Chain A
Amino acid sequence: MESPAEIVQHTAGGMIGASWLMIAFPLLGAAILLILGRMTNRWGHLLGVAMSLASFVVAVLTFLELIGLPADQRRQAVRLYEFIPGMVDMGLLIDPLSISFALLITGVGSLIHIYSIGYMAHDPERRRFFSYLNLFVAAMLLLVLAHNYVGLFIGWEGVGLASYLLIGFWQFKPSAAVAAKKAFIVNRVGDFGLLVGMFIILATFHTLTFSDLGAQIAKSPPSGGAITAIGLLLLLGACGKSAQLPLQSWLLDAMEGPTPVSALIHAATMVTAGVYLVVRSGAFFFPPDSAQALAVSIVGAATLLAGAIIGCAKDDIKKGLAGSTMSQIGYMMLGAGLGPVGYAFAIGHLITHGFFKADMFLGAGSVMHAMNDEVDMRKYGGLRKFMPLTFVTFFVGYLAIIGFPLLSGYFTKDGIIETAVHHQPILGWLAVLGAGITGFYMSRMVFMTFFGEKRWEKDAHPHESPAVMTWPLILLSIGAVFLGGYLILSNRLMDFLAPAVGAPPLSERPEFDPFSTAGLATLALVAVGAGFAWVRYGRAEVPAVAPRGSFLTTFARRDLFGDALNESLFMRPGQWLTRFAVYFDNRGVDGLVNGLAAGIGGTSGRLRRIQTGFARTYALSILFGAALLAGALLLVGNI
């Protein structure tokens, strides 16, 4: 096993020294747009795009400088300033892992910024929308670039805030406001895990900085309960942000936000933060074959199936895509739980997924834009003739996600599946099954939307979207075609990431094998799924109102009873608990606290009377004070 390279302190200036500009640009954009407010309404969106593009340029230049360094020098820590004196220095860690994320965030982020110019053109609050988007990009970059857990946590909360603001962007819709609140609260559970995990790290290692942690762990490999606890708590954090079981329930509701938000935050970038956390901490905290690593894989496998099943039953195009997002992140988690053999595939899938999922979400947005914001796929049909560009780009994304040979998803997902089958056979075959289901529900989506008969509402006049929206689609779909092969063939990504996250020794790095059993089984199942979808939704008529369906359909439609489970397991007992707590609080705690408060308040009230308002009393108190002081000093002096 090749372990990660040592982190070196960056001293030369250059692009890496100036990499903080990556965060500064969008942050400045958000600040300007929020502070100047309506004054910037006319050009605010352009500023937002410019700041995002500037950040992308910095990321590219930093990347170029980084790959110019020898492999063992590619983990550069940039110290910025002392944050909490003596404890935490604010700094950035520029290494292959963080720069991969930075490129994805700024690259895909910029395309989505551009797309939003068109998508939000008729919204009076477009400027505010761009300020939140910029805020999100800045926070997400801080999350992945920070050199310590404190910075990571600030970014983590920052993206949570931006996500909350953007889901609830159309706050006049009660559903949007509720969804935003739900996302925020469910994420709190995960954040709590991350926070407690950080506390235990600090207590165990006395530092939260990655380089110091790496050095300590290299010196004495840790073991014992604390490490398991850290791993599991960080996993809880990752589950919250990445919508993994059991904290998945917020993601489907989050689709209430404007579609570019769903594409950027709830598909391409933020929800992958959990995978980042696991991989980043994995180098430190996951001894090979440990219980917590297995837990990551199990969570991943369970979520990839759950997401796929939910995706099968959704008629709302965005919720279908949200289910598939959950499912695909499940694949990444499964890969990340396998350790360094799986990291490259997990990150590779994360990057290609960022492209094809953003592509499809934006495509869905384009369809909604054309259909008066209708999201029910039962009211679509036959759209391919009316929106050819949207159709072609969406179709490319679709082929990529189901793993059509030679497209991006084929290489990255297959990599995860084969590695999983090799190391965790049971989970691996579940992933194969998941791929088959993916083939079914994604085909269902494409057939219901673009093929078959028109089932439109009367006033629908579908049209192709403007160029500012279609160009990002085209660029994203190009990535969806070629990126996977480029990254995976001849292990390009694995070699690149090796200094940051470790990798198997050179001789054992996997060769890409298109004719393995698992690979062929996956292709066969996908074909069966797609064929079944064609029979049900392509050839046959799709009823305009959803049929009642079997128990299984209901099960999937209601998000596997996730909300019902939450309600009966957490909400109701939670309500009872709060009721009991309120009772106990009123009778027991309040007695104590009120007693204390009343005590302090009473003291305060009594002491207040000393403040008579008479200057003579004050002067007397000064005199007494002086006498006391003098007396005390004479006493101290003479002891």
Chain B
Amino acid sequence: MKYMDYLRTELFPLFWCGGCGNGAVLGAIARSFETLGYTKENTVVVTGIGCWGKADDYVKTNAFHGTHGRAIAFATGIKLANPSLNVIALMGDGDGATIGGNHFIHGARRNVDITAVIVNNYNYGMTGGQLSGTTPENSKTTTSRYGHIEGAFDICKLAEAAGAPYVARATTDNPVVMQHLITDGLKKKSFAFIEAIAPCPTHFGRNNGMPDAVSLMNWVKDKSVSAQQAKTMSAESLEDKLITGKLVDKECEDYGTKYQKIVESLRVKEASS
């Protein structure tokens, strides 16, 4: 299948605002499906709630549109009940890293073979630009008019600390790299996490002096440092930087495989008794 065949192009144009990064991420995912030869039948796209939670509207594969923050939990059941499925959970930063933060860290720790993509646009877009768990300190949102006084999550560090075997960060100004990182995550037989940094000019940008996609993209570009570059930089100079690329890629047997070993050992025991 060609990547456009995974998408319901009859519903285009996408309902997301001009300058939004969601379309670029969706395109990268569809291209990854093509690269890996996924079929509509063996793939399930699980979404949460929010702007990015509407992504399942545009896919032709199986889909599950559940509740805010719970996509990983639904995906866990879908995958473990039928391990032959390719299961990808799509969440926003409010969705996956704020209300769904607990499912996210336990998903990373538990290591079920699913891929989670969090599109981080630094605020709640769908509800009108309120602050989320990734909103940078001092920035303005519709619920932090005088400047945000909380710290922000680095979701990739969170995933790494929780034990995720695969962690990557990509930005929408480099969709080809994003596609490769998503493809590798999907290929990996373990919990894989990709953070996709995306502009939200309508809300986050407008409230912070970057009312168009270009200025937001430049803001992200200026903050971005590749994982390779970062190795040569001091901790001090990396402060407030976004380290992009593959951040964790380690071998770690997934839950389903380990569980199946228990099932097999019990079968052998039963047969020999």
Q: Do A and B associate with each other?
A: no
Q: B residues within 8 Å of A by Cβ?
A: none
